[in-house]
């Protein structure tokens, strides 16, 4: 029997841990899962909704750390997590993704000599100004088992000198959640609630500090949105960080008056998946949404200069457009003018809904 602490902290962690915890609960003779929420995200719309939508059991413990500077948040998670690991003495701690909670908990375990598995290992944007890139690099150096979503991630790890025996290509766990919940998501009334009817529409998400924390960059993106919004309505579920920055940077009037731009609160998993799956175009600076649009076959314009998920460009529907308004508008026009069926995006290998089962088998095998 393996006692496993599974860690979640922020919104993009929930759809990655859900299939894993569910799969562990289905194999009670082999796994004793414990779920720890660090509390990095705490608003109902950033956290609780995802637990109910994804049928994740209540966390066994919520560390309740909340928001702070990177150093203060990372330190608070470490201080709260260490006594818990000492008390529970797990066989493994599983961390997912690239948020501060991922690195903080991995670091605690590395120092205590407790084994850590990292899911979504090996992704690299090669942009160290991105806080997530630091979290990815360091977590992968100290984790014992690295579960990768794509072969390029394996290559990145090898290039950093990670021994082969620590690397396991298992596919993309987020897609387990997507494939499981898509039929249920399609029952959501979100499109009716937003009065979209049968209109073509785009979906926008924006929260990277590099896009929303500087007036000039954010204003340039708004300029592009004013243009794209004149072609089709854009639904924009606004992240709390972004909402704050719209006000701080004096962009409230422009954003409110941009033609076609429809702001909503952050959406739950099922509503958002339904919104994505019915859209004609997605504009985003998220990592996970680049992957979800690839599987759904929806054109995605990534508002960043790079991606740690190149497979979504090579095989999928993703175009990297940065934050320059001219490039964004051009990419949007191209995506909207493309005749359906002229390109044939593919679904990357092992993005098949069975990644959680492969991870569980690997953990058992590792135990010997
Ligand atoms: C974090 C992750 C990022 C991920 C994103 C998804 C890190 C370094 N960043 O960024 O990788 O893509 O989550 O959302 O871990 N806030 C609320 N309510 C909440 C949570 C946050 O209002 O429930 C506000 C706070 O003002 C906070 C700000 O959002 O200061 C930023 O939150 P934080 O967790 O620091 O980073 P995110 O930008 O959400």
- The string of pLDDT tens digits covering residues 159-169 is 999 999 999 99
Share of the chain above pLDDT 90, in %: 96
Residues in the chain: 368
Distance of CA 154 to the CA centre of its chain: 19
Q: Running DSSP on this structure, what letter comes out for residue 290?
A: H
Angle between helices 131-142 and 100-112 (to 10 degrees): 20
340 band by pLDDT with thresholds 50, 70 and 90: low
Q: Decide: residue 327, CB within 10 A, 0-12 exposed, 13-18 middle, 19+ buried.
A: middle
Collapsing DSSP to helix, strand or coil, 158 comes out as helix
- The string of pLDDT tens digits covering residues 29-78 is 999 999 999 999 999 999 999 999 999 999 999 999 999 999 999 999 99
Distance of CA 239 to the CA centre of its chain: 13
Cα separation of 228 and 34, whole Å? 45
With a CB cutoff of 8 Å and minimum separation 6, the contacts of 254 are 219, 222, 226
Q: Taking residues 242-268, what's their average pLDDT?
A: 97
Report the residue among 8, 37, 67, 71 best suited for mutation to probe ligand 1: largest number of ligand atoms under 8 A from its CB. Answer: 67
Sheet holding 202-205, edge to edge: 261-264, 234-237, 202-205, 281-284, 300-302, 318-320
With a CB cutoff of 8 Å and minimum separation 6, the contacts of 176 are 19, 353, 354, 355, 356
182 band by pLDDT with thresholds 50, 70 and 90: very high
**Ligand 1 centre from 42 Cα, in Å?**
9
Closest to 126 in 3D by CA, of 108, 151, 152: 152
Judge if the beta carbon of residue 49 lies within 6 A of ligand 1: no
Structure token digits, residue 236: 């924009």
303 band by pLDDT with thresholds 50, 70 and 90: very high
Helix (H) / strand (E) containing 62: strand 61-62
- The string of pLDDT tens digits covering residues 93-126 is 999 999 999 999 999 999 999 999 999 999 999 9
Contact yes or no for 258/264 (Cβ under 8 A): no
Indicate the Cα dihedral angle 347, 305, 264, 300, nearest 10°.
Answer: -30
Q: Taking residues 197-216, what's their average pLDDT?
A: 95
Residue recorded with tokens 């090898």: 158
- CB count, 10 Å around CB of 80? 20
- The string of pLDDT tens digits covering residues 310-332 is 999 999 999 999 999 999 999 99
Closest to 232 in 3D by CA, of 270, 182, 197: 197
Angle between helices 269-277 and 173-185 (to 10 degrees): 80
pLDDT of residue 341: 61
The per-residue b/e assignment along 249-283, b for 16 or more CB within 10 angstroms, e otherwise, is bebeebbeebebbbbeebbbbbbbbbbbbbbbbbb
Count the alpha carbons within 13 Å of 354 in the hemisphere toward its beta carbon.
Answer: 6
**What's the first-to-final CA gap in the chain, in angstroms?**
12
Structure token digits, residue 188: 């959501």
pTM: 0.96
Judge if the beta carbon of residue 241 lies within 6 A of ligand 1: yes
Helix (H) / strand (E) containing 203: strand 202-205
**Ligand 1 centre from 208 Cα, in Å?**
9
Closest to 139 in 3D by CA, of 77, 96, 82, 85: 96
Judge if the beta carbon of residue 27 lies within 6 A of ligand 1: no
Structure token digits, residue 127: 């942009």
Judge if the beta carbon of residue 40 lies within 6 A of ligand 1: yes
Residue with CA at minimum distance from ligand 1 atom 14: 11
Q: Taking residues 244-259, what's their average pLDDT?
A: 96
């Amino acid at each position: 029997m393996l006692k496993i602490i599974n860690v979640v902290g922020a919104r993009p962690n929930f759809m990655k841990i859900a299939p894993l915890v569910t799969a562990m609960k289905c194999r009670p003779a082999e796994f004793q899962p414990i779920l720890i929420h660090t509390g990095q995200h705490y608003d109902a719309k950033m956290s609780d909704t995802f637990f109910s939508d994804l049928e994740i059991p209540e966390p066994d413990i919520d560390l309740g750390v909340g928001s702070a500077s990177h150093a203060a948040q990372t330190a608070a998670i470490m201080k709260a997590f260490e006594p818990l690991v000492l008390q529970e003495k797990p066989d493994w701690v599983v961390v997912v993704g690239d948020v501060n909670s991922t690195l903080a908990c991995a670091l605690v375990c590395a120092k205590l000599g407790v084994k850590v598995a990292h899911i979504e290992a090996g992704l690299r944007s090669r942009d160290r100004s991105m806080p997530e890139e630091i979290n990815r690099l360091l977590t992968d150096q100290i984790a014992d088992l690295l579960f990768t979503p794509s072969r390029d991630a394996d290559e990145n790890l090898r290039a950093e000198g990670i021994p082969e025996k620590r690397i396991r290509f298992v596919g993309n766990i987020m897609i387990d959640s997507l494939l499981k919940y898509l039929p249920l998501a399609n029952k959501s009334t979100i499109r009716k609630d937003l009065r979209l009817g049968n209109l073509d529409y785009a979906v926008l998400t924006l929260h990277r500090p590099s896009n929303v924390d500087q007036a000039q960059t954010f204003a340039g993106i708004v300029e592009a949105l004013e243009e794209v919004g004149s072609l089709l309505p854009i639904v924009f579920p606004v992240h709390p960080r972004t909402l704050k920055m719209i006000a701080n940077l004096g962009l409230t009037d422009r954003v409110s008056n941009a033609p076609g731009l429809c702001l909503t609160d952050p959406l739950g998993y099922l509503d958002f998946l339904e919104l994505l799956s019915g859209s004609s175009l997605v504009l985003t600076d998220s990592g996970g949404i680049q992957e979800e649009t690839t599987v759904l076959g929806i054109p995605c314009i990534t508002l960043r200069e790079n991606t740690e998920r190149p497979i979504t460009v090579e095989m999928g529907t993703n175009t990297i457009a940065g934050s320059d308004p001219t490039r964004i508008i051009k990419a949007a026009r191209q995506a909207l003018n493309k005749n359906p069926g002229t390109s044939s995006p593919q679904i990357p290998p092992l993005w098949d809904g069975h990644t959680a089962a492969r991870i569980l088998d690997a953990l058992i095998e590792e135990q010997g």
